[in-house]
Amino acid sequence: MPSVFGNLSKIPELRKRILFTIFLLGIYRIGVFVTVPGVDRGVVQKILGGSGGFLGLFNMFSGGALAQMSVFALGIMPYISASIILQLMAVVVPAIERLQKEGEMGRRKITQYTRYGTVMLSIIQGIGIAFYLESMTSTLGEPAVTTAGWGFRIMTVISLTAGTAFIMWLGEQITERGIGNGISLIICAGIVAAFPDALFSVATYVQKGLMMPFTLFLVTVIAVVVIAIIIFFERAQRRIPVQYARRVVGRKMYGGQSTHLPLKVNTSGVIPPIFASSILLFPATLANFIQKPWMQDVRDMLSPGSAAYMFMYVVLIIFFCYFYTAVTFNPIDVADNMKKYGGYIPGIRPGKQTAVYIDKVLSRITFGGAIYISAVCVLPSLMIQQFNVPFYYGGTSLLIVVGVALDTVSQIETHLITRHYDGLTGPKGPRIRGRSRKG
């Protein structure tokens, strides 16, 4: 094992990418503790530090920045919401759909629109947070804002919008010049950063007798089983056999070999639960800022743990599993490429019939992947709530952390293998198949 990790330092490019990623994630974690000007962080921590519901979930995705009322309090959620809006618009707006098919230039244009949308959503959410901060007072009557007014509101909007834009830039830099998907790594870093505090809380409960050792053991077993299930399904594939006909070009003969088309059970990765959470967090956040009775009913209905929240969460996960798979994988293009190079699926006609067959298989395994993600995200969280465990690492958190870790390790292993080094699992170990870097 030491020799395996020693190979990481033998490749200058890989070493630079890893150090660059760690450096930018460190900058992100430092920025979490930079408070918005004019806010009493102590008062905000008293109010939001131990809050549950959607505020606790929002605080988790922001890496604790919301409880600190940091300039990073909005986290990366506006960027994710903007990405969702653009991908949904691509279905109904032909101009955006054409941009998706224009290759690199189209991708840059969509990225530019996503940035504009991120800024707009950050401004809207920043205004709501500014008004909400002015109304916040502790149980002792201490105000969260030292000097209220439009000066504070404008400064808060600028600070939060700049913070989100900076996080977005960090994520893009990690994706281009580092290792792994930058946006996913930032979310993962925020979740992992709270792990020591979560362990300390659990240990305190055990010492005070508020939690039985058997309950702790049962929760630990559940976490280990969930991690094992996640690893199994993230590496699961449905392999469609593909045969290439022999072709004679000049004096050389090409093709004639048999291969397979790998279709991942979970093609969308960790994107569906992140998208679903961001969609459910947005109306709940607005309901918390608008002090109207019917909006408070919406907030209560969309609080994590409620039956309505769980139902909508599962429905959105299943929807985004199919939606994101349809966006990132086009059976028609795959069938056309196979036909172009003389490939065919045994028993299936090349062209349209092949596309229909691939789409049918992909729809079936995507349904299984959607059920798996829904179960992993919902069931462990329900069991932890049932046992009243002060440990917020539910299935969604584990899915994100394990999925991002597998994706990052697979990219590191790709760098090692392409340079004739053994992968992280050793010369005889299994290869870790990563998913696409899209999203």
Q: Answer whether 309's CB lies under 8 Å from 303's CB.
A: yes
Residue 231 pLDDT more than 50?
Answer: yes
Q: Which pLDDT belongs to residue 131?
A: 84
Residue 392 pLDDT more than 60?
Answer: no
Q: pTM of the entire structure?
A: 0.76
Per-residue pLDDT band for 204 (boundaries 50, 70, 90) equals confident
Q: Which of 211-220, 332-341, 416-425, 428-437 is the least confident region? A: 428-437
* Signed CA dihedral, 379, 385, 389, 392: sign only: positive
On the CB side of 9, CA atoms within 13 Å amount to: 4
Q: Which pLDDT belongs to residue 426?
A: 56
User: Could you tell me what percent of the chain has a pLDDT over 90?
Assistant: 10
- As given in the structure block, the two tokens for residue 371 are 């059920």
Could you tell me where the beta strands, DSSP code E, fall in 156-198?
A: none
Q: Which of 133-137, 171-175, 434-438 is the least confident region? A: 434-438
pLDDT of 6-62, one tens digit each?
666 677 888 888 899 999 999 999 988 888 888 877 777 777 655 555 566 677 777
Alpha helices (H) in 263-346, listed in sequence order:
271-289, 293-301, 307-328, 331-340
Rounded mean pLDDT of 122-130?
A: 87
Q: Which pLDDT belongs to residue 300?
A: 72
Q: What kind of architecture, by CATH, is found in domain 196-439? A: Orthogonal Bundle (1.10)
Q: Which pLDDT belongs to residue 170?
A: 92
- As given in the structure block, the two tokens for residue 236 are 């699961």
pLDDT of 286-295, one tens digit each?
665 666 777 7
- As given in the structure block, the two tokens for residue 292 are 């109207």
- Residues 6 or more apart whose Cβ sits within 8 Å of residue 339: 350, 351, 354
Q: Which pLDDT belongs to residue 437?
A: 42
Measured distance CA(301)–CA(305) in Å, rounded:
9
Q: Which pLDDT belongs to residue 289?
A: 61
Give me Rg for the CA atoms of the chain. 24
Q: Which pLDDT belongs to residue 8?
A: 67
pLDDT of 130-167, one tens digit each?
888 887 777 677 787 878 788 888 998 999 999 999 99
Could you tell me where the beta strands, DSSP code E, fall in 186-257?
A: 237-244, 247-249, 252-254
Q: Which residue has the higher pLDDT, 300 or 221?
A: 221
- Which candidate, 233, 231, 314, places its Cα nearest to that of 273? 314
- Which candidate, 326, 437, 292, 382, places its Cα nearest to that of 97? 326
Q: Which of 37-51, 267-281, 422-436 is the least confident region? A: 422-436
DSSP letter for each residue of 400-418: HHHHHHHHHHHHHHHHHHH
Q: Which pLDDT belongs to residue 123?
A: 92
Q: Which pLDDT belongs to residue 1?
A: 46
Measured distance CA(301)–CA(2) in Å, rounded:
51
Residue 246 pLDDT more than 70?
Answer: no
Antiparallel, parallel or unpaired: β 343-344 and 258-264: unpaired
Give backbone dihedrals phi and psi of 200, rounded to 5 degrees, phi first. Answer: -65, -40
Measured distance CA(285)–CA(298) in Å, rounded:
10
DSSP letter for each residue of 308-329: HHHHHHHHHHHHHHHHHHHHH-
User: Could you tell me what percent of the chain has a pLDDT over 70?
Assistant: 81
Q: Which pLDDT belongs to residue 384?
A: 64
Rounded mean pLDDT of 226-237?
A: 87
On the CB side of 17, CA atoms within 13 Å amount to: 21
Rounded mean pLDDT of 315-329?
A: 86
Q: Which pLDDT belongs to residue 399?
A: 82
Per-residue pLDDT band for 253 (boundaries 50, 70, 90) equals low
Strand partners, 249: 252
Q: Which pLDDT belongs to residue 120?
A: 92
Helix (H, G, I), strand (E, B) or coil at 82: helix
Measured distance CA(17)–CA(420) in Å, rounded:
18
Q: Answer whether 284's CB lies under 8 Å from 302's CB.
A: yes
Q: Which residue has the tokens 């045969």?
A: 243
Q: Which pLDDT belongs to residue 39?
A: 84
Q: Which pLDDT belongs to residue 164?
A: 92
Residue type, 107: R
Measured distance CA(372)–CA(384) in Å, rounded:
18
- Where along the chain do its domains lie? 32-178, 196-439
Residue type, 30: I
Rounded mean pLDDT of 386-415?
A: 75
Rounded mean pLDDT of 337-366?
A: 86
Measured distance CA(280)–CA(297) in Å, rounded:
14
Q: Answer whether 167's CB lies under 8 Å from 29's CB.
A: no
Q: Mean pLDDT score of the chain, rounded to an integer? A: 79
Strand partners, 49: none
